[in-house]
Amino acid sequence: MSEHLWRVLSLQDHNTRVVIFGTAILGFAAGLVGCLTLLRRRALVGDALAHAALPGIAGAFLIATAMGGEGKSLPILLAGATVSGLFGIVSILLIRKMTRIKEDAALGIILSVYFGLGVALLGIVTQMNRGNAAGLESFIYGKTATMTAGDARLIAVASAICVLICIALLKEFKLLCFDEAFAGARGYPVVLLDAVLMSVVVVVTIVGLQAVGLVLVIALLVIPAASARFWTDRLVVMMVIASVLGMTGSFVGAAVSAMLPRLPSGAMIVLAAGFGFLVSFLIGTRRGVLVRLWRRRKLNESIDHQHLLRELYEMFELDPSRVSVPYEELLERRSWSRKRLRRMLEQASREGWITENVSKMEFALTDRGETEAKRLTRRHRLWELYLIRYADIAPQRVDRDADAIEHVLEPEIVAELETLLDNELGKTRMPDDPHADGVAS
């Protein structure tokens, strides 16, 4: 077993080498192109296209065989697939333009009707008594294991052309996907650009058919691109990540399937890509769900922390003679639950902001804590002042609004406004609490 594993991973076997090389290149190209279709909000066009290719494959086989040729030659089949795929795209556009049927239904109509036609033609193909027709069904599920060196070369050339087109027209495609109207206003031939992009999708889809099959080729176009978006906010980086993810997924899937030949390679490739999506969805550094949850939690914690210090500062400010503040009194100041307050206090004392007298449940600010609390309170009151003066907000509401704003605003804006108010109040003076009505002064 381990010997077999080694043989696969070191690509000693010629056949394995061809298969892994072919699918990896395909994954790379599909990831790249998929980014553009995803951003153009056409993620599922590949789905319709792949299904629409089936009648072309079966038809090409029938015609080639009827004319006495070798029906199963890949170029002929792919040519047939391309023709009927393009027909499918044109039909979708016609339906969308000439009727009131929306894009999704148009995709569905083409997908199912063309596929039905393909299945019907396949039904005839299987009667042709040539014995070799069975291979056609591999286009539905994909059968990477039968890939020949010639097939892999075809994939490599087609993928390379697609990748080159995408790189050469990168900025034009970027503009097309982002702001079609602006592209038109600048005199770009929008329809032509769109046609080029769709042709690239057609080529990748058709070439991918035989690697992973027509139900799953859509996965190669959609999954890596959707996964990449979780990691970055930059288009070029997203395209690189998607390509790498697509390539890795294909590599892993094909390798697993080479090691355990019973497992279908198409399914394995998609599952590998799907796993990549799951990981990205959870821990993608930009938009991953867990990362976002964690960030929100951090924000909430820091807000709690600031509120706590401010409350303490204000309690000491009201009565400068007191030494410490009891837990129960603190609890009444805000709608904190006991558990939450407990956690906040523990953390603050661990970080050295407050000192805790455990037996009496009393708390006091450390020197460091007092400086920080003073800074926070000052900032909060500056904000309140700003809101009262410039935003016409009633003093009763100011506290809540200032709370909401000061935690979410950009630091540079806070700095700007603080300088603005500093100039009026002087650098160090602590503004009075606007709610206090002179009590604190």
Partner 1 sequence: MMGFDWNWQLDGWIVAAGILCAVASSLLGCFLLLRRMSLLGDAISHAVLPGLAGAFLISGSRSSIWMFVGAVIVGVLTALLSDFIHNRGQVDEGASMGVVFTTLFASGLLMIVVAADRVDLDPGCVLYGAIEQTPLDKWDFPWLGIAVPRVVVVLSIVTLVNALFVGLFFKELKISTFDAALATASGFSASLIHYALMTLVAVTAVACFESVGNILVVAMLIVPPATAYLLTNRLRTMVILSCLIAAVSAWGGHVMAIVIPSWFGFRSTTTAGMMSVAAGCAFMLAFLFAPNQGLLPRLVRQQWLRWSILADDVLTLLYRIEESARIGVSHSASADGSTFAVTAMPLTQTVPWVAETLLTNRFAVKWAIRYLSWRGRVEPAKANEPGSESAESSEAASVLPKLTAVGRREAETIVRSHRLWEQYLVTKVDVAEERLHAKADRFEHFTDREMQEQLDEQTDSPSIDPHGRPIPNPDQD
Partner 2 sequence: MDPIALSVDDLTVAYHRKPVIWDVEFEIPQGKLVGVVGPNGAGKSTLLKAIMDLIPKASGRVEVFGKPYHQSLHRVGYVPQRESVDWDFPVDALDVVTMGLYRRVGWCLPIRKKHRDAAREALARVGIADLAHRQISQLSGGQQQRTFLARALVQDADLYLMDEPLAAVDAATEAAIVELLKQMQADGKTAVVIHHDLQSVPEYFDHVVLLNMRVVASGRTEDVFTNENLQKTYGGRLTLLDEATEAMRRRERGI
Taking CB under 8 A as the criterion, the residue among 178, 302, 342, 437 binding partner 2 is 178
Residue closer to partner 2 (CB basis): 45 or 238: 238
Beta-bridge mates of residue 355: 364
Q: Minimum CB separation from partner 1 for residue 223, in Å?
A: 5
Residue 273 burial (CB count, 10 A): 29
**Residue 263: contacted member of partner 1, partner 2, none (CB under 5 to 8 Å, by partner type):** partner 1
Q: Give the binding range for partner 2 (CB under 8 A) out of 85-93, 167-175, 296-304, 363-371.
A: 167-175
Residue closer to partner 2 (CB basis): 202 or 235: 235
**What character string, x for contact with partner 2 (CB under 8 A) and - otherwise, covers 412-431?**
x-------------------
Beta-bridge mates of residue 354: 365
Residue closer to partner 2 (CB basis): 175 or 256: 175
Under rule CB under 8 A, residue 262 binds partner 2 = no
Query: Residue 431 gets which letter from DSSP?
Result: P
**Residue 238: contacted member of partner 2, partner 1, none (CB under 5 to 8 Å, by partner type):** partner 2
Q: Minimum CB separation from partner 1 for residue 208, in Å?
A: 12
Q: Minimum CB separation from partner 1 for residue 8, in Å?
A: 19
Applying the rule CB under 8 A, the residues between 31 and 60 that interact with partner 2 are 39, 41
Q: Minimum CB separation from partner 2 for residue 164, in Å?
A: 10
Helix or strand run (H / E) with residue 432: none
Taking CB under 8 A as the criterion, the residue among 175, 259, 331, 364 binding partner 2 is 175
Q: Minimum CB separation from partner 1 for residue 204, in Å?
A: 15
Beta-bridge mates of residue 326: 362
- Alpha helices, H only, 67-169: 74-98, 103-125, 138-141, 149-168
Residue closer to partner 2 (CB basis): 17 or 174: 174
Is the CB of residue 253 less than 8 Å from the CB of residue 60? no
Q: Which pair of structure tokens corresponds to residue 298?
A: 């951090």
Residue closer to partner 1 (CB basis): 93 or 271: 271
Is the CB of residue 137 less than 8 Å from the CB of residue 122? yes
Calpha distance 2→5 (Å, rounded): 5
**Could you give the C-alpha distances from 219 to 292, 326, 349, in angstroms and in order?**
26, 60, 51
CA angle, 13 then 14 then 17, to 5°: 85
Q: How many residues bind partner 2 (CB under 8 A)?
A: 26
Q: Give the binding range for partner 2 (CB under 8 A) out of 104-112, 230-238, 270-278, 395-403.
A: 230-238
Q: Minimum CB separation from partner 2 for residue 24, in Å?
A: 25
Residue type, position 422, single letter: D
Residue closer to partner 2 (CB basis): 234 or 429: 234
Alpha-carbon torsion, ordered 207, 209, 215, 221, to 10 deg: -20
Inter-axis angle of helices 235-259 and 265-283, nearest 10: 140
Q: Minimum CB separation from partner 1 for residue 156, in Å?
A: 24
**What character string, x for contact with partner 2 (CB under 8 A) and - otherwise, covers 395-414?**
-----------------x--
Calpha distance 22→156 (Å, rounded): 7
Residue closer to partner 1 (CB basis): 104 or 351: 104
Q: Give the binding range for partner 2 (CB under 8 A) out of 10-18, 228-236, 295-303, 393-401.
A: 228-236
Calpha distance 115→382 (Å, rounded): 67
Is the CB of residue 325 less than 8 Å from the CB of residue 362? yes
Q: Which pair of structure tokens corresponds to residue 242?
A: 């998607």
Residue 364's region, left for phi above 0, alpha for psi from -120 to 50, else beta, is beta
Under rule CB under 8 A, residue 229 binds partner 2 = yes
Among residues 231, 78, 234, 67, which one has the least CA distance to residue 150? 78
**Could you give the C-alpha distances from 277 to 61, 236, 245, in angstroms and in order?**
37, 19, 9
Residue closer to partner 1 (CB basis): 102 or 400: 102
Query: Residue 354 gets which letter from DSSP?
Result: E
**Residue 440: contacted member of partner 1, partner 2, none (CB under 5 to 8 Å, by partner type):** none
Give the residues lining the site for partner 1 (CB under 8 A). 38, 41-44, 47, 95, 98-102, 104-105, 107-109, 111-124, 127, 137, 140-141, 215-216, 218-219, 221-223, 225-226, 229-230, 262-264, 266-271, 273-274, 277, 281, 287, 289
The values of phi and psi at residue 420, to 5°, are: -55, -50
Q: Give the binding range for partner 2 (CB under 8 A) out of 102-110, 144-152, 183-191, 258-266.
A: 183-191
Residues in touch with partner 2 (CB under 8 A): 39, 41, 168-169, 171-172, 174-175, 177-179, 181-182, 184-188, 229, 232-235, 237-238, 412
